[in-house]
């Protein structure tokens, strides 16, 4: 139900943001509802999420955000932030939600070269930020979703997996000070900012509230609005501007001014253990600038222009490429240092029986992949959405230790092949692993990506069944259950109305109701929570403290 224009709530919201920055037009509001993963959460066969917002407002400042939040609290409405809006969770998950589209808050407020941070608003994209940073010899971690995503949304509210996690950190690790409009409308200036001491840290005074702000993932719109944050930035030894041209592959950019202190190496290994060993050794020797994996099926998806091209390219390349690999970009202060790092890499390959994938070291692949590792660009979105329009990972993403990585990857490849053979999932040969390395090789982050057709309910459900199987195996064999995987498995089993009920459960409901009640209303929590020492109960207790009127929209999972 849209807000009546005559209602007091609507009038107050309009007064805050101005006539031109509020709408209840169903056509416009539906654009916020048609979402990636909509087929899993809403009706099968299309991407509409189950619920339309009450209204969409476009606040232009923290003050306006705060006032909107207070109006929502006052009138029993809920609210949810939307930055670049690439993820379904930016859509309403409960009834009565006002969407705050933050696109007017799009400024880079400061680039501080000495303390190495960039102070940004929610609608600043990675490409916007990275271009400005490179001008002053700096760089930022770019989420592998693509350079068109909000840098703030990923760091404060979303995920954060990207090639730069190798030495620039993951998620919370990339954040310094944060300005957070809490669900009750209070503004928390987290860390040094609250003491009037600038943006240099978000930890303290005393216990760090970053601990309740995000974990592996963020609040995903479920606990207030982040209106500004300082993101850590890092030294960039490359050119101040990346000159690209579009001719190498149809539709793909290549890096044309690649200097001689930057080089990409695509490496293969005979088995997963040796690959994990090599990754750790690269980290221990402290070489490399960014790192990641794109298994051959996925790499071909990314390099193909059209579906027909994909079929041809797969025919040509799949068997020519090794299956177990990772890619590392060396970017050093000098040519001499690059040569040294290359010698170290060669020694690691010698010790682990690895080698270079010569084909990908050559043009045009070399330039395209190098550019992707630095800038991300649109290649990854193209790879995972270009063929069928929907993707996710089985198992859902998380970081794992060295002994787990290969087993997790191979387990999901085997399970996936069956559905590919049935023609229900995009045929990447089962080998769609994407991953990154955290904290100079301390941990490895793995996703085995699966693409399906969201317009075909059977295809959507094939992905859900695969997810169920993977979840079962990972619990049994690896003492692991991914939260995203559980979300997919459980949410797809429910009809959209139950989904809404689930999200409306308060913490006290959850704590006080019996286990069966919890199971009936919140299969996700009922399944994952007890396996993680009732983590969900503590989370909800904290959220209840911060959001006494339950006015933030629910946060999945």
Partner 1 sequence: MSGGIDRKQLVDIAGKDNVFDDEETLDAYSQDESFLPPRRPSFVVKPKGRDEIVALLKIANETKTPLVPVSSGPPHFRGDTVPEYGGIVLDLSGMSKILFVDREDRVAMIEPGVRFRELQAALRKEGMKLPIPLCPRETKSVVGSCLEREPHTIPKYHLDHCDPLSCAEVVFGTGDVFCTGEAAGPGTIEDKQKAGWRQKIRVEPQTELIRLFQGSQGTMGIVTWVTVRCEVMPGTQKPLLAAGDDLEALLEFLYRLVRMRLCDEAFILDGADMAAIAAEDGDVDALQDTLPRWILFFCISGYRILPEERVSILEKETREIAKLCNVGLQDAVAGLPAEKVLDITGQPCADTYWKLRKRGACQDIYFISSFDGIARCVEVMREFAGRNGLPVRDIGVYVQPVCQGHGYHCEFNIFHKGEDHAERERVKDAYESLCRVLLNNGAFFSRPYDLLPEMVYERDAVAGGVLRKVKSVFDPNNILNPGKLCF
Taking CB under 6 A as the criterion, the residue among 225, 279, 404, 528 binding ligand FAD is: 225
Residue 318 DSSP SS3? helix
Taking CB under 8 A as the criterion, the residue among 83, 139, 443, 522 binding partner 1 is: 443
What does the alpha-carbon distance between residue 488 and residue 474 come to, in Å, rounded to a whole number? Answer: 15
Q: CB nearer to ligand FAD: give 155 or 249.
A: 155
Restricted to residues 353-382, the positions that interact with partner 1 (CB under 8 A) are: none
Which partner in ligand FAD, partner 1, none is near 400 (CB below 5 to 8 A by kind)?
partner 1
43 binds partner 1 (CB under 8 A): no
What does the alpha-carbon distance between residue 537 and residue 551 come to, in Å, rounded to a whole number? Answer: 19
Query: DSSP letter string over 223-269?
Result: S-EEEEEEEE-EE--S-SS--EEEEEETTEEEES---TTEEEEEEE-
Q: CB nearer to partner 1: give 22 or 328.
A: 328
518 binds ligand FAD (CB under 6 A): no
What does the alpha-carbon distance between residue 439 and residue 172 come to, in Å, rounded to a whole number? Answer: 13
Restricted to residues 453-482, the positions that interact with partner 1 (CB under 8 A) are: 475, 477-481
Count of residues engaged in binding partner 1, rule: CB under 8 A:
92
Restricted to residues 93-112, the positions that interact with partner 1 (CB under 8 A) are: 112
491 binds ligand FAD (CB under 6 A): no
Which partner in ligand FAD, partner 1, none is near 200 (CB below 5 to 8 A by kind)?
partner 1
- Give me the least distance between CB of 361 and partner 1, in Å please: 22
Which partner in ligand FAD, partner 1, none is near 143 (CB below 5 to 8 A by kind)?
ligand FAD
HSE at residue 478, side-chain half, CA atoms within 13 A, is: 22
Structure tokens at 151: 């840098």
Q: Determine whether 346 is exposed, middle or buried from the number of CB atoms within 10 Å of its CB (0-12, 13-18, 19+).
A: middle
CB distance 170 to 438 below 8 Å = yes
Q: CB nearer to ligand FAD: give 117 or 434.
A: 434
Nearest to residue 265, comparing CAs of 235, 243, 289, 284?
289
Restricted to residues 150-189, the positions that interact with ligand FAD (CB under 6 A) are: 150, 152-154, 157-162
6 phi/psi in degrees, rounded to 5 = -85, -10
Nearest to residue 122, comparing CAs of 155, 147, 146?
155
- Give me the least distance between CB of 212 and ligand FAD, in Å please: 14
Which partner in partner 1, ligand FAD, none is near 84 (CB below 5 to 8 A by kind)?
ligand FAD
239 binds partner 1 (CB under 8 A): no
Which partner in partner 1, ligand FAD, none is near 90 (CB below 5 to 8 A by kind)?
ligand FAD
Q: Which residues contact residue 44 at a Cβ distance below 8 angstroms, ignoring those fewer than 6 apart? A: 457, 460, 461
Q: Which residues bind ligand FAD (CB under 6 A)?
A: 36, 80-87, 89-90, 102, 122, 143-145, 149-150, 152-154, 157-162, 220-221, 225-226, 380-381, 384-385
């Amino acid at each position: 139900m849209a807000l009546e224009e005559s209602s007091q709530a609507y009038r107050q919201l309009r007064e805050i943001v101005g006539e031109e920055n509020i709408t209840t037009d169903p056509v416009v509001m539906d654009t916020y509802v048609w979402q990636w993963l909509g087929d899993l959460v809403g009706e099968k066969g299309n991407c509409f999420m189950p619920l339309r917002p009450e209204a969409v407002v476009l606040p232009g400042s923290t003050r306006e955000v705060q006032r909107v939040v207070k109006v929502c609290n006052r009138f029993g409405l809920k609210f949810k932030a939307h930055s670049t809006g690439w993820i379904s969770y930016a859509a309403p998950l409960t009834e009565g939600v006002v969407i705050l589209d933050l696109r007017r808050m799009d400024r880079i407020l400061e680039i501080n070269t000495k303390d190495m941070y960039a102070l940004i608003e929610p609608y600043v994209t990675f490409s916007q930020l990275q271009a400005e940073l490179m001008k002053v010899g700096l760089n930022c971690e770019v989420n592998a979703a693509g350079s068109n995503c909000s840098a703030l949304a990923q760091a404060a509210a979303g995920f954060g997996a990207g090639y730069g996690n190798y030495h620039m950190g993951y998620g919370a690790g990339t954040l310094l000070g944060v300005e957070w409009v809490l669900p009750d409308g209070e503004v928390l200036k987290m860390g040094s900012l609250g003491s009037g001491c600038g943006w240099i840290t978000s930890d303290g005074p005393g216990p760090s509230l970053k601990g309740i702000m995000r974990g592996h993932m963020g609040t995903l719109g479920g606990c207030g609005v982040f209106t500004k944050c300082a993101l850590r930035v890092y030294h960039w030894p490359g050119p101040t501007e990346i000159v690209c041209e579009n001719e190498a592959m149809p539709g793909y950019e290549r890096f044309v001014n690649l200097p001689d202190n930057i080089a990409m190496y695509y490496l293969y290994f005979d088995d997963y253990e040796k690959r994990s060993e090599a990754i750790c050794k690269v980290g221990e020797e402290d070489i490399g600038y960014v790192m990641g994996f794109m298994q051959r099926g996925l790499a071909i998806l990314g390099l193909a222009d059209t579906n027909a091209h994909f079929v041809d390219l797969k025919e040509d390349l799949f068997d020519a490429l090794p299956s177990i690999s990772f890619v590392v970009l060396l970017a050093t202060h000098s040519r001499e240092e690059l040569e040294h790092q290359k010698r170290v890499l060669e020694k690691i390959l010698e010790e682990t029986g690895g080698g270079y994938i010569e084909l990908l070291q050559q043009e045009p692949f070399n330039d395209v992949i190098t550019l992707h590792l630095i800038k991300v660009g649109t290649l990854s979105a193209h790879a995972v959405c270009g063929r069928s329009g929907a993707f996710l990972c089985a198992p859902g993403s998380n970081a794992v230790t060295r002994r787990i990585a290969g087993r997790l990857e191979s387990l999901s490849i085997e399970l996936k092949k069956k559905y590919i053979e049935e023609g229900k999932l995009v045929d990447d040969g089962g080998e769609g692993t994407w991953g990154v390395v955290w904290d100079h090789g301390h941990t490895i982050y793995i996703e085995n990506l699966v693409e399906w057709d969201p317009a075909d309910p059977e295809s959507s459900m094939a992905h859900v069944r695969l997810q169920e199987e993977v979840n079962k195996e990972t619990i049994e064999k690896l003492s692991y259950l991914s939260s995203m995987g559980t979300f997919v498995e459980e949410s797809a089993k429910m009809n959209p109305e139950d989904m809404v009920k689930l999200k409306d459960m308060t913490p006290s409901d959850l704590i006080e109701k019996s286990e069966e009640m919890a199971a009936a209303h919140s299969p996700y929590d009922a399944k994952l929570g007890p396996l993680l020492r009732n983590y969900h109960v503590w989370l909800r207790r904290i959220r209840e403290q911060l959001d006494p009127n339950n006015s933030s929209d629910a946060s999945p999972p």
